[in-house]
Amino acid sequence: MSSGATCKVRLFYLTRRSFRRSHIGTLTENSRSLHTRPSQCPNAPYVSPSPPRMRESEKDDDDVKPFEDIPGPRSLPIIGTLHHYLPGIGQYSFSRLHHTGLRKLQQFGPIVREQLIGGVTLLLLYDPQDIEVMYAREGRYPMRRSHTALEKYRLDRPNMYNNGGLLPTNGEVWWDVRRRAQRVLSRPPCVQSRLPHVNKVCQEFTEVLDELKSPQTDQVGDFLNLERRLLLELTMVATLDVGLGCLQGGSGEGNEEAEALMTAAHESNSTILGTDNGLQLWRLINTPLYRRLIKGQDTIYRIAQKYVEAKEAELKAEGWSVESREGPLSVLEYCLLESGLDKKDIIGVFCDTLLAGIDTGAFTLSYVLYNLACNPDKQEVLAQEAKQLLDATGGEVTPKVISEARYLKAVLRETYRLRPVSIGVGRIMQDDTVIRRYKVPKGTVVVTQNQVSCRLPQYFPEPDTFLPERWLIRRSTTHTDAPHPYLVLPFGHGPRACIGRRMAEQNLHVIILQLMWKYHVGWDGGELDCVSNLINEPDGPLLFTFHPRN
């Protein structure tokens, strides 16, 4: 191995502080990108001061092994490892990626190489130190390989979109949209300005719950349906500045726009995995899957455009100036007046938020409630916290309430650990890199397996137990037993992390506190696991019971 390469490997194992000290002024192209990468990331991982620890076996980094030596499932010409996933014959499953991930870990160890159909090489990482290395090398503009068909859909329509949008686009074009969009979507005052609206929608939600639930069983049928309506309403109110009335008249059923949006978002999301993987015939012809994506996206675009243009007309009528608005600017107003995004990009960003913001929130809420219902003692601690905080405000979740709700945050973090909505994150390596003493070539697609690792006993004692208290332990600054900071990363990490994290967590804080304040939540279903459908969704109906506390 060359000394330059050796130096780059060593770089990862320095403590973060010494890393900063030692590399200022020693810029290779790679280290430069580490230091000047976009810094406004609002989504730092749960901070722990523990540095990446150097493995004994890696102190001598002279012998780097070839990529081909990384163990993994046997692949065949053309179809790669597809045969391993065939129902009835194969040992793996696309719909249970977390079980498949665990199986591969047991078979091959913490780094796994896999040749997919279509010539894509995948690298699975389980060890948080390796995941940290991947992030350290993600470069100035981190690249993902996802939503490829969505990108084509948008690029084929230059009259509607300037580019592929946040989810699929890579490189400078992505950053140009991202840096402007995050000034709005991730900016604390912008997000917080929506809090009164979020409270109102969540209060309405609990009233609807009261109306709908059976007096005999305290159930509302499959709760997921209601959760999706709630998250859609919250996303619309928070981004497009308009309530759709998704919960009106009880369930909101019959509200055409809400129905159309929910179907469109779900349909679009459910085509992503199928179009990203495989032979990508949709690049040549409109396959049935690609047609479903078109239909879903046409609907989302139409509705987003309608509300952006309505707000644009309103602002024009009022003189198109910040001063003409009363109170804090809404997200949409800020986007139009201040962000520097043009109208096509604004519509594109809101299309992405409708795609990324509904099911992620609904599924996370499902898993939080499931964990609380199955652990009534923990639920009581949270209910006490909710009572103490909300009795004083008459049920209003204020910024102060959120900042003081410590147990709530521990409950959320423990849910992210046990039941995250994504298995991990994906990145395309932008340089040749060494990971775990293997040479990983530029262009390799890495998928971290955080969901699997978060249940391993070497990282978390009693890994399958729901124990929010593990996040409340006060540790000294020299602790060595704190969880590695690259294990629980439900929103990803770095400049490409979820742009909607603040919004998503604000919604979750409000609805969970309000539900805990009003109800004992019980569970009438069987054990809940997840199926992988781009993100992890509950694999059975959500049979919660909501029994009033007073």
Among left, alpha and beta (phi > 0; psi -120 to 50; other), residue 65 is beta
- The yes or no reply on residue 45 touching ligand HEM (CB under 6 A) is no
Q: Of these, 230, 421, 542, 543, which contacts ligand HEM (CB under 6 A)?
A: 421
Which CB atom, from 213 or from 417, has the smaller least distance to ligand HEM? 417
Task: Kindly state the smallest distance separating residue 238's Cβ from ligand HEM, in Å.
Answer: 7
Task: Kindly state the smallest distance separating residue 79's Cβ from ligand HEM, in Å.
Answer: 28
Burial of 237 (0-12, 13-18, 19+ CB in 10 A): buried
Q: Of these, 268, 299, 330, 353, which contacts ligand HEM (CB under 6 A)?
A: 353
- The yes or no reply on residue 356 touching ligand HEM (CB under 6 A) is yes
- The yes or no reply on residue 490 touching ligand HEM (CB under 6 A) is yes
Q: Does residue 480 contact residue 48 with C-beta atoms inside 8 Å?
A: no
H-state helical runs in 357-405: 358-374, 376-391, 399-404
Q: Which SS3 state, helix, strand or coil, does residue 125 take?
A: strand
Task: Kindly state the smallest distance separating residue 446's Cβ from ligand HEM, in Å.
Answer: 11
Residue 498 marked ligand-binding: yes
Q: Which of residues 108-147 bind ligand HEM (CB under 6 A)?
A: 144
Residue span binding ligand HEM (CB under 6 A) among the ranges 64-72, 256-264, 499-507, 539-547: 499-507
Residue linked to tokens 């004083």: 392
- The yes or no reply on residue 352 touching ligand HEM (CB under 6 A) is yes
Residue span binding ligand HEM (CB under 6 A) among the ranges 81-89, 262-270, 350-358, 474-482: 350-358
Please state, in angstroms and rounded to a whole number, the distance separating the CA atoms of residues 234 and 238: 6
- The yes or no reply on residue 361 touching ligand HEM (CB under 6 A) is yes
- Got the DSSP string for 328-339? SPPHHHHHHHHS
- Got the DSSP string for 28-75? -HHHHHHHHS----S-PPPP--PPPPPPGGGSS---PBPGGGS-----
- Got the DSSP string for 259-271? HHHHHHHHHHHHH
- The yes or no reply on residue 332 touching ligand HEM (CB under 6 A) is no
- The yes or no reply on residue 492 touching ligand HEM (CB under 6 A) is yes
Q: Does residue 201 contact residue 194 with C-beta atoms inside 8 Å?
A: no
- The yes or no reply on residue 496 touching ligand HEM (CB under 6 A) is yes
Which CB atom, from 80 or from 426, has the smaller least distance to ligand HEM? 426
* Two structure tokens written together for 106: 């047991």
Please state, in angstroms and rounded to a whole number, the distance separating the CA atoms of residues 237 and 455: 36
Binding residues for ligand HEM, total number by CB under 6 A: 24
* Two structure tokens written together for 191: 């997000």
- The yes or no reply on residue 201 touching ligand HEM (CB under 6 A) is no
Based on its alpha-carbon atoms, the radius of gyration of the chain, rounded to whole angstroms, reads 24
Q: Which SS3 state, helix, strand or coil, does residue 114 take?
A: strand
Please state, in angstroms and rounded to a whole number, the distance separating the CA atoms of residues 423 and 98: 7
- The yes or no reply on residue 364 touching ligand HEM (CB under 6 A) is yes
Residue span binding ligand HEM (CB under 6 A) among the ranges 103-111, 206-214, 480-488, 491-499: 491-499
Q: Which residues are annotated as a binding site for heme?
A: 498
Q: Which residues are annotated as a binding site?
A: 498
Q: Which residues bind ligand HEM (CB under 6 A)?
A: 144, 166-167, 178, 352-353, 356-357, 360-361, 364, 421-422, 425, 490-492, 496-500, 503-504
